[in-house]
Amino acid sequence: MEYDVIIIGAGIAGLVTANRAAQLGQRAVVLEKSTEDKYICNSRYAYGTFHINFTGLDTPEDDLCAKIDAATDGFARKDLARAVAKDGRRLMQWLKDEGIELVNLGSYGTNVLSPPWRVGFGLTWQNYGADIALQRLEANFQKRQGRILRGSRARALTLVFGGIEIEVEQPDGVKKLSAPSVVIADILFILVLIELFRLLLIYLEEHRVSVSTMVEVGIVATLREVLLKGAMQVDWRQMLALCAFIVTLGVVLRYAGVRLEEQETSG
The pTM (predicted TM-score) of the whole model is 0.70
Q: How confident is the model at residue 260 (pLDDT cuts 50, 70, 90)?
A: very low
Percent of the chain with pLDDT over 90: 41
3-state SS class at 232: helix
Q: What DSSP string describes 128-162?
A: SHHHHHHHHHHHHHHHTT-EEEET-EEEEEEEETT
Q: Is the pLDDT score of 263 beyond 60?
A: no
Is it the case that residue 206 has pLDDT exceeding 50? yes
Max Cα distance, the chain (Å): 70
What pLDDT score was predicted for residue 38? 86
Rounded CA separation 141/122 (Å): 30
For residue 55, how far is the Cα from the chain centroid? 20
The predicted structure's pLDDT at residue 231: 54
Q: What is the pLDDT of residues 126-161, one digit of tens each?
A: 889 999 999 999 999 999 999 999 999 988 889 888
- Comparing 12-16, 35-39, 238-242, the range with the smallest average pLDDT is 238-242
Confidence of residue 258 (pLDDT cuts 50, 70, 90): very low
DSSP string, 35-50: -STT---HHHHS--B-
Does residue 250 contact residue 257 with C-beta atoms inside 8 Å? no
Distance CA 223, CA 250 (A): 13
Banded pLDDT at 192 (limits 50, 70, 90): low
- Which residues does 252 contact at the CB level (< 8 Å), separation at least 6? 211, 215
Q: What is the mean pLDDT of the chain?
A: 81
Distance CA 184, CA 30 (A): 10
Give the whole-angstrom CA distance, residue 131 versus residue 136.
Answer: 9
Q: Over 90: is that where the pLDDT of 256 sits?
A: no
Confidence of residue 20 (pLDDT cuts 50, 70, 90): very high
Highest mean pLDDT of the ranges 134-143, 218-227, 231-240: 134-143
